Each structure stands twice: as C-alpha cells, then as structure tokens.
Amino acid sequence: MAAKSATEYIVHHLTPLKAGDGFWTLHLDTLFFSAVLGLVFILTFKYAAERAVSGVPGPIQNFAEMLVEFVDTQVKDTFHGRNELIAPLALTIFCWVFLMNLMDLIPVDLLPTIAALEGTPYLRVVPSTDLNATFAMSLSVFCLIIFYSFKVKGPLEFTKEILLQPFGIWFMPFNVLLRVVEEVAKPVSLALRLFGNMYAGELIFILIALMPWYIQPLLSFPWAVFHILIITLQAFIFMVLTIVYLSMAHASH
C-alpha cells in the first residue's frame, strides 16, 4: 500500500466522530461506547444479583462473585481507612476500564466499515484510546481524593498538611509546591498510562491490518493473545492506584 494511503488509513482509524467546536467539542463515539459498556457492566451484575442462589451458583453468578471477591481482597490489602464506597468504586473502575480496553480486540475495520455504510465518516471504538476519556476518569478520582482529604482530615488539618509537610513551617512555599506537583501527578499519571498503552496497542493492530492478508493472522493472533494481558493489567493498575490514592486521602499523619 502506498505511503500516502497508509497514512490516510491510520489517520482515519484514529480520528474520533466529533460534534461541536473548540473546548466544547464532543467525541460522540467515545461517549457512546463508554455509556454502552457501562450499561453492559450494570446489567450483567444486576442479572447476577437478581438470580443469585445460596446453592450451586450458575456461571454468571460464579463469575460475578469471583470478581467481587478479587476486588474486595485488593481493597482489604490496600485501603486502610473505613469507607463503604471504595470497594464498589474499585469494582466499577476495574470492570468498566476492562470493557473499554476489551474493545481493542474487535477487528479494526469491522465497526468502522459498518458505520460507514450508515453514513458515519469516522468511528473510534476503543474509548480508552481517547485522552479525553482517560482524563475524565482520572479527574473524577482526583475530585474524590480532594473531597475525602477535606472530609476525613478536616479543612484545618488538611491545610496544615499542605503548608507544613514535609519540611516544616520555615519552608511553606516549598512544601506547597511539592504538594501541588504530587497531587497534579496523580490524575496525569493515571490518564496518560492508560491512554498510552491502549493507544499504542490499537496502533499496532492498525499497522498489522495494513499488511497483506496472508501475513495478518500470523501477527494479529499472537498480538491479540498478548494484548489480553495488557488490557487486564491496565484495568488492574488503574483500580489499584485509585485505591492507594484514596487510602492516602484517608490517612492522617
């Protein structure tokens, strides 16, 4: 394939379906797939809860209980405060991010081709390859960190912590600077880590799709198998870091 057409192919697959201009631009495909995958998570666990039995569980109940137990173990090992919200939040983050990442295993041309038949020029199907989505999730976590820092420690103690730690009263400007850098780094690292790994994975699938058809299975299948580990690991890391950051917000020094 010619270089120009290859470039156009890559750009087409990485261009979101947009609406609006400037700051208020909406990525409609990211919003749509994020909402649909969130609904899949909710309905799956709702179905498992409504049909839960005390005897031998069915496959859906067994799967849901396995995930709940896995997340609950992570929370007990990592979170050292008292908050009933943390475990449900961690479960939601892990499942939702995993489902977003899982979209990366769908053949890159399948859904965009179907959308093109319906008159949609662009369609990016993996929400976690959109920096807007990953930053939105990380900023939500950041807001919870600030909220619980105020709620648990109190405004006075939290302010003293910012001003006086780690070097005491004589280095307050430096203490504040360090704290700002530390707090800003949390949502930035959460967002960029997830986005970078998933964007790179999607780009590799797109590059494989540019190769001759008889070579694609030799490369796409091994990469897809390896990518299952990546998408699971990224969801796990996002969840664990969220638990750690919220545990720090609940800790008093």
Q: What is the pLDDT at residue 171?
A: 81
Work out whether strand 18-19 and strand 26-27 pair parallel, antiparallel, or are unpaired: antiparallel
Condensed to tens digits (0 to 9), the pLDDT of residues 112-162 reads 999 999 888 899 999 999 999 999 999 999 999 999 988 888 888 888 888
- Provide the pLDDT for residue 163: 86
* Predicted structure pTM score: 0.91
Tell me the catalytic residues.
Answer: 189, 193, 197
pLDDT given at position 68: 94
Q: What pLDDT sits at residue 158?
A: 85
Per-residue confidence band for 12, with pLDDT thresholds at 50, 70 and 90: confident
Alpha helices in the chain (DSSP H): 3-14, 28-50, 59-78, 86-102, 110-117, 131-164, 172-209, 216-250
pLDDT over 90, % of the chain: 65
Could you give the CA distance from residue 213 to residue 1 in angstroms, rounded to a whole number? 12
17: pLDDT strictly greater than 90: yes
The terminus-to-terminus CA distance of the chain in angstroms comes to 61
Does 250 score more than 70 pLDDT?
A: yes
User: pLDDT at residue 1 above 70?
Assistant: no
Assess whether pLDDT exceeds 80 at residue 4.
Answer: no
Alpha-carbon distance of 12 to 122, in angstroms, equals 7
What's the confidence (pLDDT) of residue 125? 93
pLDDT in the model for residue 39:
97
Q: What is the pLDDT of residues 22-81, one digit of tens each?
A: 878 899 999 999 999 999 999 999 999 998 887 788 888 899 999 999 999 999 999 987
Q: What is the mean pLDDT of the chain?
A: 90
